[in-house]
Amino acid sequence: MVISSDARWEMVDAITRQTVTYGTYKQTLGDVLGDLTVKPLTGIPVAVAALYAFWSIFTSFAGTLVTDGFMVKLFDGYWLPWLQSVWPDPTSWHYFIFVGNPAADTCFEAFGMLTSGLFVSIGVVLPAVFVFYLMMTILEDSGYLPRLAVLMDSVLHRIGLHGYAIVPAILGLGCNVPAVTATRILETKKQRFIMMTLLALFIPCGAQLGIMMSVLPDLVGVVMLCLVVGFVIFGFVLNKVIPGENPEILVDVPPYHWPVKEYVAKKLWNRTKGFLKEAVPFVLFGVLVVNLLYLGGVIQGLADLLEPVFVTWFGVPKETVGPLIAAFLRKDLAIAQLSTIPMTTYQTVASVVLVTIYFPCVATFVVMLREGWKQLIAAIAVLFVVVFIYGGIIHAVGILLGVA
Amino acid sequence: MTEGRADLPEGGTTVLMLGNPNVGKSALFNRMTGANAVVSNYPGTTVDFTRGTFIEGGHTYTIVDVPGTYSLEPRDAAEEVAVRMLRDCPDATVMIVLDATKIDRGLYITLEVMERGMPCIVAVNMMDAAHEKKITVDIAALQRLLGVPVVSTTATSGEGVRTLAEQIRKAQVANLGGIAKRLRGEEPRTESLRACGGCGGC
Amino acid sequence: MRIKLSDLPFGATAVVREIQTSAHDLNCLGLRIGKELKMVTKQPIKGPVVVILGELEIAMGLETAEQIVVETGVDR
């Protein structure tokens, strides 16, 4: 038996009347907080404060406390000298691949699988993603995200999305892989395409944020600014260019809950485990591939070939070609590698931004393919155009400011 | 997680968990199967389905945590996954999960599923939140009216999950005409769960 | 008095009388004709509108809110 929508609602009301009774409703602290965090006058300062707190906990705990205070000492003080002393024959190919540069003083410079590979993944990125996931989990479980979506809607609706796109955006700051799938909460193909493309282009993942914080702490702000500006500019352009609907936000705002400790712990454990299982082998594999390509002279050849584009158009040294290849496997690795190339401040910012936007990492690439190959191809086409244009714009701005 | 068509495993019963977004389907799913589906407090956490199994009374159930949806007319790609699952598993039992504080909103899709003639069982979740808000849901009355088993649960504490698992085998095909009659008080309510024999609970 | 939902002042309550846009999605979220709602906030620069309906709180775009007619001053 099939009935009309109206008849269904009538039945729903009749059932509810006979089974549910409402007592006197008392406003709770959660309701008051709910109101305060969604009203613009109070909500926007709260959002800024929350993001600031998020950021400062992230940098101080992961960057200063764990990485600088413990991991750097451990890896550079004991692990690297020990490996360099026990590994036979510093001139051999296996020394180059596993230990790297025999003259290196730090695990960043060495660039071997067991030196930089382990240091980047365990020493720098692991503490960063752990803290990041902890805070993200609390944001998710408390019920704050839908409220943040309401506050962000005014901006996001003008770039072809709506406020709820903040969900994949924030997930993407952890890892772009689940974020790509999360674009399914958007209603139209146009919105999903715009969000997926912007994700792949302008949202750095937690691993990348972690390594940036460690190797270029003073420049992270400038890099993030370049990315946010790019996100808005190209979102605006894509909204104009891509046909399709951009429906308004329509979303349920759940009441606040105290995050359930058990769930937070479980989620944190699963995500960290996922990182160890998938990211660490990829970083090691990335070092291996890059080292093999160096040994085979492939990177040198590519660098010579692409020199005009890199030096003239983007204004960065041709040595950055190597890290760009590593970036396809792991972005964190690429930035670690960039940090060892001597560059001016402008060149560092420009090359880090390029590494971020130029291509999604291979894992993201695979999930994007799962969401549809046509969109993937279109996204890649957009990506190349954007990288070329935005890289040029950054260079031009650099020249105008007199830094490039 | 697998994408696309849900391949039905050999033997056992497939149970699809369906309901509005953010009513605690994934939390309930984790409780029943010991799996690790992601749980959050915002609508749209689950955008793909996750499958798990549990054994109850010697019978194996494959239970699928489906993305939340408000109706069977999908609004976004996550809701499409839910509707496609329902279409691809016509022989499945449907476990409808309601939020005890928002019963009316979940009943709409409950009726839509019932119209499809699939055997249903209803879980009224988030009973703790309803209690806090002084909302009472007459579970027995709801069961009599709908003519399918209704179990109250609190996924965060695990309350009622055991009973829910035991009751799955009693899932019923509901009759909308019967519900309408019972709502008007025309049919003796005690007859509504005829097939529910040998059970001390109801 | 009947007004557009988008014109309802902060904190005011009203009863939904008419939905001039596709009503299905709004209905599903709990906004239906005859329901009483309370305005929580309207975001600046044409941002979304947030209303409370009993236990429910929903956010919708301004254009949607402009197509919902509510009646104020209904004694309940």
User: Which residue has 């953010």 as its token pair?
Assistant: B22
Chain C residue numbers with beta carbons less than 8 Å from the beta carbon of A252 are 29, 56-58
Count of pairs with CB atoms under 8 A, one residue in B, one in C:
20
pLDDT at position B159: 92
Give CA–CA dist C35/C71, Å, rounded: 11
A107 is a domain residue: yes
Look at the block and give the residue holding tokens 């090691």: A284
Residues of chain A neighbouring B180 (CB-CB closer than 8 A): 11
Nearest to A274 by CA among A166, A145, A366, A174: A174
Is residue C51 within 8 Å of residue C39, measured between CB atoms? yes
Tell me which residue range forms the domain holding A187: 32-246+267-400
pLDDT at B173 over 80: yes
Chain A residue closest in CA terms to B107: A12
Read off the pLDDT of each residue in A245-261 and give the average, rounded to a whole number. Answer: 88
pLDDT for residue A327 is more than 50: yes
**Cα separation, A330 vs A360, whole angstroms:** 9
- Transcribe A243-260 into DSSP letters: -S--PPPEEE-PPP-PPP
Across A348-374, average pLDDT: 86
DSSP tag of C14? E
Q: What is the mean pLDDT of chain A?
A: 87
Length of chain A: 404
- Could you tell me how far CA B36 lies from the centroid of its own chain? 19
DSSP track, A324-369: HHHHHH-HHHHHHHHTTS---HHHHHHHHHHHHHH---HHHHHHHH
Q: Going by DSSP bridges, is the β-strand pair B59-65/B119-125 parallel, antiparallel, or unpaired?
A: unpaired
Q: Is A29 within 8 Å of chain B by CB?
A: no
**Which top CATH class is C2-54?**
mainly beta
Min Cα separation A204/chain C (Å): 27
Q: Judge: B41–A267 Cβ closer than 8 Å, yes or no.
A: no
- Report the range of poorest mean pLDDT among A237-241, B89-93, C44-48: C44-48
The rounded distance, in Å, linking the Cα atoms of B107 and A8 is: 9
A255-280: pLDDT as tens digits:
888 888 888 888 889 888 888 888 88
**pLDDT at residue B200 above 70?**
no
Q: Specify the pLDDT at position B64.
A: 93
Q: Which pLDDT does position B107 carry in this prediction?
A: 95
C40 contacts in A (CB within 8 Å)? 35, 38-39
pLDDT tens digits, residue range A88-108?
888 888 898 888 888 888 888
Among left, alpha and beta (phi > 0; psi -120 to 50; other), residue A315 is: left
Task: Give the containing element (helix H, strand E) for B1.
Answer: none
Q: Which helix (H) or strand (E) holds C36?
A: strand C36-42
> Could you tell me which residues are beta bridge partners of residue B56?
B59
Would you list the domain boundaries of chain C? Answer: 2-54
Q: How far is CA A7 from the centre of its chain?
A: 47
User: What pLDDT digit, counting tens, does each position of A2-17 carry?
Assistant: 788 889 999 999 999 9
Cβ within 8 Å, pair B137-A19: yes
Classify residue B36 by its DSSP letter.
-
* Structure confidence at residue A271 (pLDDT): 87
Q: B120-170 pLDDT, tens per residue?
A: 999 999 999 898 888 999 999 999 999 999 999 999 899 999 999 999 999
What are the structural domains, with CATH classification, of chain B?
13-185 (3.40.50.300)
Which chain B residue has its CA at the smallest distance from C32's CA? B105
Nearest residue of chain C to residue B109 (CA atoms): C28
CB atoms B71 and C28 under 8 Å: yes
The answer to whether B134 faces chain A, any CB pair under 8 Å, is yes
Confidence band (pLDDT; 50, 70, 90) for C75?
low
Q: Is the pLDDT of residue B5 over 50?
A: no
Task: Measure the CA–CA gap between C6 and B160, rounded to whole angstroms.
Answer: 43
pLDDT band at A202 (very low <50, low <70, confident <90, very high): very high
- Number of independent structural domains in chain A: 1
Do A128 and A54 touch, CB atoms closer than 8 A?
no
- So what's the ipTM on this one? 0.91
Query: Residue B190: CB partners within 8 Å, gap ≥ 6?
Result: B144
Instruction: Pull the structure tokens for residue B96.
Output: 């409808």
Q: Please check whether residue A8 touches B, CB under 8 A.
A: yes
B36 interaction partners in chain A (CB closer than 8 Å): 266, 270
Cβ–Cβ under 8 Å, residues B60 and B7: no
**Residue A6 counted as domain residue:** no
Lowest mean pLDDT among A307-311, A394-398, B47-51, B183-187: B183-187
Neighbours of B193 (CB within 10 A): 18
The H or E element that residue A312 is part of is none
For residue A254, being part of any structural domain is answered with: no
Q: What is the pTM of this model?
A: 0.85
Q: Within a 10 A sphere around the Cβ of B44, how many other Cβ atoms?
A: 24
The amino acid occupying position B80 is E
Residue A184 near residue B75, CB atoms below 8 Å:
no
B133: chain C residues, CB-CB within 8 Å: 55
Domain for residue A278, yes or no? Answer: yes
Cβ separation of C30 and B102 shorter than 8 Å?
yes
| Position A139 confidence tier, pLDDT thresholds 50, 70, 90 | confident
Classify residue A14: in a domain, yes or no: no
All residues of chain A having their beta carbon less than 8 Å from the beta carbon of residue C56 are: 252
Q: Is any Cβ of chain A less than 8 angstroms from the Cβ of B2? A: no
Question: Chain-wide mean pLDDT for chain C?
Answer: 89
At residue A177's C-alpha, the angle toward residues A219 and A209, to 5°, is 15
What's the rounded mean pLDDT across residues A112-128?
Answer: 86
Tell the burial category of A342 from Cβ atoms under 10 Å away from its Cβ (0-12, 13-18, 19+): exposed
Task: Count the neighbouring beta carbons within 10 Å of the beta carbon of residue A310.
Answer: 22
Contact across the interface for A16 and B77, Cβ inside 8 Å: no
